[in-house]
Amino acid sequence: MMERHRGDRDRDRDRDYRDRDRDRDRDFHPQPRRPSRFTDGPPDEQNRSPGNYRGGFSSGRRAFESPPRQPPVGDNGGFYPPAGGPPGGFWPMGGEVGAPEGGFVNDLPGPPRPMPPPPPSVTGQKRGFPFSGRGSSPEHFDGKSFVKLFVGSVPRTVTEQEIRPLFEEQGKVLEVALIKDKRTGQQQGCCFIKYATSEEADRAIRALHNQYTLPGGLAPVQVRYADGERERLGNGAVEYKLFVGSLNKLVTEKEVEEIFAPYGRMEDVYLMRDERKQSRGCGFVKFSSKDSAMAAINALNGIFTMRGCDQPLIVRFADPKRPRAGEPRAGPAFGGPGFAPSPTSGIRPAAASNPNIPGPIGGQGPPNAWQPMSPQNLGPSPSAGIHGFGNQFPPRSGDTAISSTPGSHLGAQGNLTEGSVGGTVSAAATSPHNFKQYFSQVPPSSQQSQHISPLQKPLESPQHFPPPLQLHQGAGTYTQAPTSQASMRPHNPQTGVQAPYSQPFPSQQLNSSTGPVPPQFNVQPSATAAMALQHRPNAPSSMTNTHMPTSTPQQPLPYQQSPSQITQMLSQQRQTLQASFQSSQLAFSQLQQQVQMMQPSMQNQPLQQNFQASRQQSQWTGATPTTAASAPAVALPSESPSTPIGSAAAAARPAPVKCNWTEHTSPDGHKYYYNSVTRESRWVKPEELALYEQQQQKPAVQPPLNQPSLQAIPNQQVTQTQPPQFQTQYRHTEQFQNPPLSSMYQAPRGVGNMTAQEASYPQLQAPPSSGNDIARFQQGAQPQATQDWAWKSNSGGT
DNA sequence: CGACGGGACGC
DNA sequence: CGACGGGACGC
């Protein structure tokens, strides 16, 4: 493909060296550009200097060599199972899919790669592969001198002084390049930002992407790796884009993001809006890994209904974007990166070339993982009425990746055994392996269990419901709170750290049934369901209403809502604090244990990732990497004196109060914590949040917002506190500042017969539509809490 | 029931 | 050392 002339590459290389040298010299402002008054000597530079970071997880950043099936926490989105990126895409992959360059993935050990990607030197993207001359050794690679971010939605009038400070908050900016037309000299509305490390870059992405509108801008900035960077960094170049329909038109990207957060790292969320900026009720969510994407589909499609909607979400891989008139051919001439028809699979390139359609990433295995299950096996699946997978996936695309990817991943996890799930799967999937991995996370026994189906009438093949659905069924009971929690964990490798609570190890037994599960979750909620079913097979009485058994039992460990919210918070915090503290201590040792345990059976790479992840995270959250553990991550990301003019960040700065963690309740009814900045999810409350909450207590004893609405509800149903932090958190974007989204999933607080929704979802705008469902909702609550998702199985409607 | 924004490499 | 034609949808 478009390979540049040798000369170009050489130039790049040279430049690279220069940059690297600059780094070494810690030249904070390599470019003699007009020193912004905002960017002068960041005192904390040392803390954030690359060197420092490396110290933290030097061996760490090896995106290059380690195939983190699971994006390490702070890692840029994710890793894409490489799959080499052979050309061949026919489909017009939207320019958004993958990098335009359709480059190759770096040498990732992962799955077999059909088309051996060109050596790094060749990988040279049009836009520079700075390390071309440095060989491909991880060390060198790791020693990359910079990471370039592309920033879109930059007003053409913006100046470096205006934009730099913004990014300076996330790390030391090596360079700001406002792109302008060569001829006219007019700015093009975008720019490039260079950081020395991908950690900083990631941070910037998470902190700013879609969250901050530059003065004069019409939309929040778009921050992403520049074309070619992702590949270069080994983070993959493909994105798995999901189409999401039946969204409440009032929700924001942020909220959607949180709904999908539990399933993995997202690259982007885009809601379709009309000319008036009004949501059209659908949008796209890009995941960086297929596993995540699939996990989201399985868990949400046809299952999760947002309040105000009478239809459950539709979640499916997006169709290839329709090229706009006059648009050049398919961008990445050759199907974006990441997909190569397996030499042996004989899969049609067309299918394989579209990352959105599960294709053979690993490039081996039966080409029919998906198809088979759509029609009959999976049946229209939970999404029955909603177009099952059937029509979405072309018959031919084989999702070999499923088998390979998760498989190895599991291996990495060390606690999942395929065998366990093995034979259980019905012949449903032509590729039992695949199938079970994603669709039969419930023990065969429970799967077969008819107890399940009662609730889901709409589906043709009850036994193949995706886990989530089943979950709902069984969720009705909830005896094994801890277990269930353990069973499902956030996508972070780090989860292991939370072992103390999640009981990762013990849960393994459970896992066996759910073994092959999306990476994010060592085990899916289904496990819970399974258990629940066993306990009380036909007891879902309580959920007759919504079929959302989940609701009630959802809160395995309902916080004891004391009459006084304050009291509640206090006790809660105390507990959390204690817990988190301990957990943090145990965490490491646990991890180590895991390492030892796993090591033999797996490539230790993933593990390293885990370590990295945990470290990264603490570093990120804390102002000072090294002290992160002890120091509440609540501190602001940057103590840099440089204060962006009107930067919202500046405003937040004064008070060391900020926590990007928010509590949510996943569709399966479990509480989880999501960090909107790192985009990390956890099942256990991060100590940062605990601390943050604690801190919030002091100043403002009275949680301002939402009070009214909360009061409207019996004390118990009171949602947790959340107002303060969220505001801070979303200060950037207008769209985010409105609602304290945290409440999103906060419903289910184990309220009597009241369903979760009823209890905690104030009620959006009382969609009096479907009487049935609506009726159940608690009326009178305040609409302000926009997030009122109702939980109900698709069957709901009737 | 809704299907794709908007920008891309300066010295 | 070259770079994308031509048709365009029904369930």
* Apex A713 CA angle, A709 and A714, nearest 5: 145
Which tens digit of pLDDT belongs to each residue from A512-551? 333 233 333 333 333 333 333 233 223 222 332 323 333 3
**Residue with structure tokens 């170049």?**
A237
| Cβ–Cβ under 8 Å, residues A797 and A770 | yes
- Average pLDDT, stretch A298-307? 93
Residues 243-262 of chain A within 7 A of strand B, judged by CB, are 243, 245-247
Query: What letters, b where the CB count within 10 A reaches 16 and e where it falls short, cover A320-357?
Result: bbeeeeeeeebbbbbbbbbbbbbeebebbbbbbbbbbb
The pLDDT value recorded for residue A144 is 64
Range from A60-74, A134-148, A188-202, A578-592 carrying the lowest mean pLDDT: A60-74
Label residue A228 left, alpha or beta by phi (over 0 means left) and psi (-120 to 50 means alpha): left
**A391 contact to strand C (CB, 7 A limit):** yes
Rg, Å, chain A Cα set: 25
Question: Quick one: what percent of chain A has pLDDT higher than 90?
Answer: 16
Q: Which nucleotides of B are covered by protein (CB under 7 A)?
A: 1-11
Q: Distance, angstroms, CA A479 to C1' C8?
A: 57
Tokens of A297: 């589909």
**What is the H or E stretch that residue A595 is in?**
helix A565-598
The pLDDT value recorded for residue A177 is 95
Question: Which nucleotide is nearest to A152 if distance is taken from CA to C1'?
Answer: B7
Which tens digit of pLDDT belongs to each residue from A593-611? 444 444 434 433 333 333 3
Question: Which nucleotide is nearest to A94 if distance is taken from CA to C1'?
Answer: B4
Which tens digit of pLDDT belongs to each residue from A727-780? 223 233 333 333 333 333 333 222 223 233 332 332 233 333 333 332 222 222
The pLDDT value recorded for residue A656 is 52
The pLDDT value recorded for residue A670 is 82
C-alpha distances in Å from residue A618, one per residue of A23, A312, A475, A558: 24, 36, 33, 27
User: Measured on CA atoms in the order A458, A464, A467, A470, is the torsion positive or negative?
Assistant: positive
Q: Distance, angstroms, CA A47 to C1' C7?
A: 61
Which tens digit of pLDDT belongs to each residue from A414-473? 232 232 333 222 222 222 222 222 232 232 233 332 222 222 223 333 223 333 333 333
- Average pLDDT, stretch A703-711? 37
Average pLDDT, chain A: 49
The pLDDT value recorded for residue A658 is 80
**A182 contact to strand B (CB, 7 A limit):** yes
Question: Which nucleotide is nearest to A322 if distance is taken from CA to C1'?
Answer: B4
**A152 contact to strand B (CB, 7 A limit):** yes
